[in-house]
Structure 1
Amino acid sequence: MADPYSILGVARGASEQDIKSAYRKLAKQFHPDANKDNPKASERFSEVTQAYDLLSDKDKRARFDRGEIDMDGNPKSPFGYGRGGSGGQYRGGAGGPFGGGMGGGGGGPDDVDLSDLFEGIFGGGQRRQRPGGMGGGGDDPFGGFAGGGFGGQRRPTKGANVQYRLAVPLTAIANLEKQRITLSDGKTIDLKLPNGAEDGTQMRLAGKGEAGPAGNGDAIVTIVEQAHPFFRRDGDDVRLDLPITLDEAVNGAKVKVPTTSGAVMLTVGPGSSSGKVLRLKGKGFTRKDGSRGDQLVTLEIDLPDDSSELAERLKGWTDTRNIRSRMGV
């Protein structure tokens, strides 16, 4: 089984910062934009991103370390979770011991309520509905007896819902780019992402689940937002740390800045310090009302590794300000 620690090249006890640093280094090395002629680099980038997605989530990391889930985030259980689609798409649906999907709202084997099963067989009126429970749509797993007991009339049931996990790049979510998903029957569908899409957003594809006497169940697609080498989500905004040279900071300059929808020119004012934040309006994520957040650019002055020439030029000059006085030192 793939091991996310080995993929990132870190020890099991690695800190969050160690994991983040390892991911950034590998992501920059294998990013598709920098390896357009190397398809294997794209596969490696996806593998590295998947490993980081798991280890950067404290709960998922703990569950993986305890052996409760695999690297795909699927429970290690006998309840029939399977893979479907392609790329970052994972399926969980029909195939449990009672013929129904254990997906729905993200439930697993611990979510089984046996009282529901007995109510459906031995009386007590109509079985209550539980979103995401056994049977794919809340139908009685034993065929749906109406009226209680075995004397009731059997009603046809819909097929089970099928769960899919769709890995989507952060930039694609920001721009609501259509995403292609391969269903369990081999058919592909181009999905239009909804306004306000984010990690965990679910989309329902009516009639794309398992077949049943009363029609097909549905396909439930959950978006998994992939981390990016230098963009970060901050609510509806996108954050970016932008390196600039000392002369650009001192004298000011127009510099090219990457955004989720392409590079733009940004004006850096004279005397800009590291940590200064500049705002690019409308370059963030699409909100539910259709408007967009902003891109927040944090300037970082980057000095050359060999600063001897710079030191020579500054010889005899000292900045006499006490710039740490507000810190009480």
Structure 2
Amino acid sequence: METKDLYKILGVSRGASQEEIRRAYRRLARRYHPDANPDDPEAEERFKEIQHAYEVLSNPESRRRYDQGPATFFGGERSAGNGGGFGGFSNLSDIFDTFGDVFGRGGRGRRSASRGDDVTVSVNLGFREALSGVTTRVSAPVEEECSTCGGTGAAPGTFPRTCPECGGRGTSSQDQGFFAFSSTCRRCGGSGTVIDRPCPTCRGSGRVRRARQVTVRIPSGAKDGMKIRIPGRGGAGRNGGPRGDLYVVTRVASHPVFERRGDDFVVELPVSFTEAALGAQVEVPRPEGGTLRLKIPAGTQDGKQFRVRGAGAPRPRGEGRGDMIVKIRVVVPERLNRREREILEAFADVHDEDVREELFRRVGEVR
């Protein structure tokens, strides 16, 4: 290994900067690390070469002596100041930066931009309001950047400072043999900074909760529980990130007469005994107002259902309307005057039909 060109092992030129050497090592170490290549002796040997090359070239003094001549370098003191420990890193946090991806962890605890929180609110609608659609305003409790501290969390005139315990990384590491394992810094909670004087308004969080008034258009035909998304009206992003979205959930009041099933309406329509027997043209109310006419054929039985196409609720995006389902409920008179009784008795004498004959026949067929 000592006869190979260390620059070629890392894939960099002799004039490469320390940062270029570091990036090359990080890339190759992740690729050839034994944990990423189990049971692969060639990858393990390659990893050792990469580690050795970095130990030498990451230290300016050892690199200078290596550039003077590999024979001279390997004949004298090796890797002065590195000790061959963990690839020439100056501390355990650097080791974690390199191997963090292998173990499924992030690297340094830098504050990165992140999207704001989504917010969900409800809006109450009347039955007819939901059918026709309405424009209304909702109050959305969202998190905003604190105007007092500008989102820093520090009192006016002061600023957060780098965490002295983790050096701004947001993580602390522990050496356990060959590897370094990282955990969130207890001092700064992973932010990488500490605040000596918290902002009196937000108490150091950099954010405050406010009720934001948002205008929302409820489309015609809105159903109970429908969710409407309003992009960019949720909580403020962090560190320059985009805002979250606002979701408005509709809560539609029920109707005392009409039942809604999807885009259809269901209504029970009372009809008289004579209308059901003789047939009739009857009017059926509509939930949004007005009526429609329905033909009841002669001999209509109680519970019979009729479907009126296009008389239901508006469908979203202008895709027509649902249907109205009309259930017939035959109303039998509770009281009869003398003339009505005479007529019905005469009808019974003429229409001598045993309406229960079929019932008893079917019962008798059961073994």
The two structures have a TM-score, normalised by structure 1, of: 0.47
Structure with the greater alpha carbon radius of gyration? 2
